[in-house]
Amino acid sequence: MQELLRPGLFRRGPGFYTVNLRPGEKVYGEDLVVEDGVEYRRIDPWRSKLGAFVAQGGRQWPYERVRSVLYLGGGHGTTVSHLSDILPRGTVHVVEKSPRAFGALLALSQRRENVLPVLADVQLPERYRADCGEVDHLYQDVSQRGQVEIFLENLRASLKPHGTGLLMLKTRSVTQTAPPRAVLKDATRHLQQEGLDLLETVDLAPFSRGHFALVLRAPG
């Protein structure tokens, strides 16, 4: 029997699942399970940092009451597809600059109406802010040196007051010379100086070494 852990997120044994918006279809080779006529897709924590966040005991779940998401660095849509399951009546705007990954997102959006991909650089939020409008939640997973600045720029451009954010911080992209915990400390100090509330920090090892998930709330 599936246990509802958080709105849109289920647990069965050691695995975490979302309800498949497109029954019968896999997105990245994930396991499908049918119970009582409902089909669930397993979130692979080795492939999705959102999956790693829940597998590592993340307690905050910023998707309650969320209708619109701006997702920066969509890749081939692994995690985007689970957010699409979690928010069946919501909208997930996804920004990606790699044409190849964008092609996969476009194909995903043809099967999932709530996924809206944008081919753009996340360092230039003015290029897509009008298309996305103000969103309830900002999710970021880009391996760039200026990850914190990118997050803040997009927050200012598109996040509603008191909106939430999930920043997947890749410390080795910031610097290879400082230890991951020192990079994390710097990043959290910077975010807090900008008025954000840090609600939770989760180390994503062993699934994604050197990565931390930061759950944040924007000022009013």
Q: Which residues bind ligand SAM (CB under 6 A)?
A: 48-49, 73-75, 78-79, 95-98, 101, 121-123, 141-144
> Is the Cβ of residue 97 or residue 160 nearer to ligand SAM in the bound state?
97
Identity of the amino acid at 154: N
Instruction: Name the E strands within 8-90.
Output: 9-12, 15-19, 32-35, 38-42, 68-72
Report the nearest approach of ligand SAM to the CB of residue 31 (Å): 17
C-alpha of 186 from chain center:
22
> Is the Cβ of residue 38 or residue 205 nearer to ligand SAM in the bound state?
205
d(CA 216, CA 95): 20
> Is the Cβ of residue 87 or residue 122 nearer to ligand SAM in the bound state?
122
Report the nearest approach of ligand SAM to the CB of residue 142 (Å): 4
Report the nearest approach of ligand SAM to the CB of residue 73 (Å): 3
Report the nearest approach of ligand SAM to the CB of residue 97 (Å): 3
Nearest residue to 139 via CA among 202, 198, 216: 216
Identity of the amino acid at 173: S
> Is the Cβ of residue 74 or residue 90 nearer to ligand SAM in the bound state?
74
Contacts of 211 (CB under 8 A, 6+ apart): 49, 52, 168, 169, 170, 171, 203, 204, 205
Report the nearest approach of ligand SAM to the CB of residue 48 (Å): 5
> Is the Cβ of residue 26 or residue 189 nearer to ligand SAM in the bound state?
26
Q: Do 164 and 62 touch, CB atoms closer than 8 A?
A: yes
